Structure 1
Amino acid sequence: MPKLLAPLIALIGLTFIAATHTMAASAPDTAILDTHWKLVSVRGVAAEVGRREAHLVFKPGGGLAGSTGCNNLAAVYALDGEQIAFGPIVTTRMYCQEAARTERALLKGLRDVSRWVVDGNRLELLTDAGVTIAVLEKSEG
C-alpha cells in the first residue's frame, strides 16, 4: 500500500493545483486545447511505437493528460499567449523497452519547453532559443 500512496498524493496535489489555478485562455491559446496531439518526434528523432500511442491532450483550465507510448502521464501547465510552462509531470511506472527512449526524451524535454507554435495540424513545442523539443500532429485519438 505505501507504494501507491506517493503517486496518489501527487495526483491529489496536481488536481488541487489545476482547480485553484484556473487560467483564462485567450483566443490564440485555444488552438492547442482539447485536441489529441499524437507525438511524431522528440528532438528530431521519430517517436518509437509503444504499447499505446504517445500523445498529449491540453485540457482547458491547465490540466495535461497523455501517454509516453508506455506510461500514462499527467501534469499542470500554464499558457500565456505562445508561452507555456509545465508543472511536475506524474507518470505510471511500467517498463516498456520498445518505447523507453521516446519516454525518457519526452519527459526530460518537456522541462525545457517554454513556447509552442501551431501550423495547421502540427504542434511544435520549443525552447526559448527556438530549439524544437517535440513535434505532434492532430489525431482522432
Structure 2
Amino acid sequence: MKAIKSFSIGLIFFVVSSCGSLNPINPLSLLMGNSWALSSLMGKSLDLSQFADGVPSLNFLEGGKLAGFTGCNNLSGSFALEGSSIRLDPGAVTRKACPGTGEQDFLGALSKVGNLKIGKDKLTFLNGEEELMSFIPKED
C-alpha cells in the first residue's frame, strides 16, 4: 500500500512538472512558416473563374510585412498580430485591370479581418465569429 502511494505521488509530481514544459503554439511562427493559398472566401469554396491569373495567396514576413497575390495583382503591405487579433493592411496593390469580382471580394474581405484561427494546415480569418476566408499552406 505504501508503494502504491509513493508511486501515485511520484506520478502526480511528474505530470504536474512536465505540464510547464509544454510549449504553446506560437501563431506568429505558424504564419511566417508558410506561404498561404486561399481555399475559401466568405464561407464558400473558390470560384476560380473569378480570379484572372490564379489563386490568391499571402506571405507573412519579418517586421510585420505582408506580401501577396490577389488573383490578378500583387500586394505589399503590413500586418499586426496581438494574440488572436490581427490587422491586415494590403498597402500597395499593382493596378492591372482584372476581369471578374474575385480580386475586389478578396481585398474587401481582407479589410474586415479582425481575428484568426491558425493550425499547421489551415489559417482562418474571421470578423468576430464570421468566417471571412481560409487558407492552406501553398505547395511550391
Output the TM-score relative to the length of structure 1. Answer: 0.72
Aligned 1:123-134 pairs, distance under 5 A: 123-128=123-128, 130-134=129-133
Name 1:43's counterpart in structure 2.
42
4+ aligned runs moved over 4 Å, structure 1: none
| Cα distance, 1:132 vs structure 2 | 0.8
Within 5 Å, which residues of 2 pair with 1:2-41? 27-41=26-40
CA distance, structure 1, for counterparts of residue 77 and residue 34 of structure 2: 16
Gaps of 5+ in 2: 1-24
Please tell me whether residue 111 in structure 1 is matched to residue 102 in structure 2: no
Q: 1:42-85, CA deviations, whole angstroms, 9 ceiling, x for partnerless residues?
A: 10233324313310001121011010110001111101111101
Q: How does 1:49-88 map to 2 (within 5 A)?
A: 49-87=51-89
Equivalences, count: 113
2:74, 2:113 → 1: CA distance?
A: 19
Contact persistence 2:55–2:71 (CA under 8 A): yes
**1:21 aligned residue:** none
| 1:94 alignment partner in structure 2 | 96
Q: Deviations over 1:71-105 (max 9, x none)?
A: 001111101111101235321111221xx322111
Distance 2:56 2:106 in 1: 10
In structure 2, how many angstroms separate the alpha carbons of the residues matched to 1:114 and 1:46? 21
Identity %: 29
- Structure 1: unaligned runs, 5 residues or longer: 1-25
Over alpha carbons, which structure has the higher Rg? 2
**Partners of 1:28 and 1:36 in 2: how far apart?**
14
Question: In the aligned structure 1, how far is the partner of 2:27 from the partner of 2:41?
Answer: 24
Instruction: Render the CA deviation track for 1:115-138: whole Å, top value 9, x for unaligned.
Output: 11113411100012x111111110
Task: State the distance in 1 between where 2:90 and 2:59 align.
Answer: 16
Q: Is the 8 A contact 2:66 2:90 kept in 1?
A: no
CA RMSD of aligned residues (A): 1.8
